[in-house]
Structure 1
Amino acid sequence: MGTATLVDQEIQDGKRLIDALNQAGLSVNSALWLYLPEKETWRLMLTSPIFDKEGSLKTYKEIISVFGKVQPELKINWMNLVAVSPQHKLIQGLRKLQKDWNFNLLGKRLTNNTVNHIYVDDAYIYQIE
């Protein structure tokens, strides 16, 4: 990616990857692009039950395996993928936000907010489950 702006291509490619991961049986619960201002980069954060059951290494292996098979080729850098537990503090906070406010975050942008004591400079949310 390399820029501080998340563009439609990254959003579309992220969705294609999430769909491919789900079709491959990885069961992505939550997914979002998260901007890290200190690194001036975006990360595609993905959660799956596999992370808690089999660990981060197995999760990354599964993600990278599917990533390489998506056609047409994804334009996002695989090094910008971050696999985390569905119990990650940010994911828990977003889940609670949806429930408390009866508000679906699907396809929403979150900018300059604090969620569960975590500052979110910018994020694009695909899904939170």
Structure 2
Amino acid sequence: MAKDILVTESLSGSMMNAGAKLIERLDAKQSEIKSAFWLYFSEDKTWKLIIASPLVDALGPREFYKKVVDANSAASEEEEVISLNDIGVTNTANQIVQLLRFAIGTGDRISGIRFSRNTINGNFIEDTYIYRSKL
């Protein structure tokens, strides 16, 4: 069985890799991922993987989290998976999703763009690692 990854204050290579693999598995399940990124919450000193999809509105967050659980279950034994405690799902109208889309567009592919200490339309983004940003 796959092992849970330890999410730390610093964004590690294993966190970045586990996020990319999760997005790949969700893409294979037609999850309509429009935006996916690690976001740093400085007040808590933690990272959270944010996944935005129109299916969150259509199915509801609980059903979309089930898709994430299924994608984690499909991981191979060698792969690390991200705990649901470290994942947030949202719709595409989310403010940070919209801000990142305005600043960075990746298309359908999975990218690896670090976006740190920047302001978009007056909103400060401490740190983020973007896999996908499109709408």
**Count of matched residue positions in the alignment of Structure 1 and Structure 2:** 123
Q: Can you list the C-alpha shifts for 1:49-99, whole angstroms capped at 9, x where unaligned? A: 211212111111111121122113424322100101111111111112236
Percent of aligned pairs with the same residue?
28
TM-score under structure 2 length normalisation: 0.82
Shift of 1:2: 4.5
Amino acid at match of 2:16: I
Quote the Cα distance in structure 1 between the aligned partners of 2:87 and 2:121. Answer: 22
Quote the Cα distance in structure 2 between the aligned partners of 1:54 and 1:25. Answer: 13
Residue 30 of structure 1 is matched in structure 2 by 35
Q: Work out which of the residue numbers 8, 11, 14 in structure 1 matches 2:13.
A: 8
Which runs of no fewer than 5 residues in structure 2 stay unpaired?
1-5, 106-110
Q: Work out which of the residue numbers 62, 77, 87 in structure 2 matches 1:81.
A: 87
CA contact 1:32–1:127 (8 Å) conserved in 2: yes
Identify the structure with the greater helix proportion: 1
Q: Work out which of the residue numbers 50, 53, 57 in structure 1 matches 2:55.
A: 50
TM-score under structure 1 length normalisation: 0.85
Amino acid at match of 2:89: A
Shift of 1:14: 0.4
Matched position secondary structure for 2:16: helix
CA RMSD of aligned residues (A): 1.7
Which runs of no fewer than 5 residues in structure 1 stay unpaired?
100-105
Instruction: Assess, with a 3 A threshold, how the Cα gap between structure 1 residues 120 and 94 changes in structure 2: closer, same or farther.
Output: same
Instruction: Assess, with a 3 A threshold, how the Cα gap between structure 1 residues 117 and 67 changes in structure 2: closer, same or farther.
Output: farther
